[in-house]
Amino acid sequence: MRNLLLIVVTLVALPIHAGEIHCKHLPFGIPEGTPETNDLVFRSCYVLSSNDDTKFADWVAYRLTLTEVGGEVALDRNFRADELLKPEETLEPEDYDGAFAAHTYHKGHLAPLASFKGTPYASEVNYLSNIVPQRATLNGGPWRVLEDAVRELVRVHRTVWVITGPIYDDGESALPESDEMHLVPDAFFKVIIVEEAGETRVAAFLMEQEIPGGTHYSDCLVTIAEIQALAGITLFPEMEAGLLAVKDEVWVAEWRRDAN
């Protein structure tokens, strides 16, 4: 009996290793380098890594096809706390009270609501774990135009993968009525990926909160390597190394032509 007890105790004490995780939203593996306390949240429309300290996602990844972008589902902005997270790990709608009047902050979607008109799960993007404070000139300007361009890419390429998230420096002004400790991002990134004739094409963008509203997204083009250095995250652990340094200005210039 004593030997059996020793065996059981030994087994319980052994570290448990998770198996491989496969997700349609992450074709190049799960991003690495986020805090161990982060929460990985899987939903039909996206997957995200929620940061307990900042109260915002460090990254949100989603796959778009014609099904998601082509529907006519009514889109309600029913913002709510993420039920999969503990109350102390995320914000609530009341935390955004007074944010626009004080700092022109909108509730900005990382996985955008308008990109999921074709799915009954569109309301998932209104969980506050997918929301960040964004200045009005950014949210309604170049960020929105880039989201529109991504939807047009889906109509051309049928499938598009996106990963997006915040960048922190000193942190922007806090939400004035929030009773939760949080850190408002200084900038945001978005990486777009398509497969074209067996070739992977990538485009990475970086937009600061204070960006002038008339800025075009093509002027915000950077490399994945630059974003990873700023975010401190390896976004694509299984991606070919050469793609991390790509700044495909020619391809991005084609987006305007394809949209016309």
Active site residues: 109
Kindly report the number of other CB atoms within 10 A of residue 209's CB atom.
Answer: 24
Can you tell me the distance from the alpha carbon of 216 to that of 197, in angstroms, rounded to the nearest whole number?
A: 28
Look-up of token digits 């404070």: 133
Report CA dihedral (249, 250, 251, 255) to the nearest 10 degrees.
Answer: 90
Kindly report the number of other CB atoms within 10 A of residue 188's CB atom.
Answer: 23
Check residue 255 and give left, alpha or beta (phi > 0: left; psi -120 to 50: alpha).
alpha
Three-class DSSP category at 225: helix
Spatial contact of 193 and 244, defined as CB atoms under 8 Å apart: no
Report CA dihedral (83, 85, 91, 93) to the nearest 10 degrees.
Answer: 0
Three-class DSSP category at 106: strand
Structure tokens at 197: 């004739």
Can you tell me the distance from the alpha carbon of 112 to that of 130, in angstroms, rounded to the nearest whole number?
A: 9
Structure tokens at 127: 């969980």
- Looking at the DSSP bridge assignments, the partners of residue 63 are 161
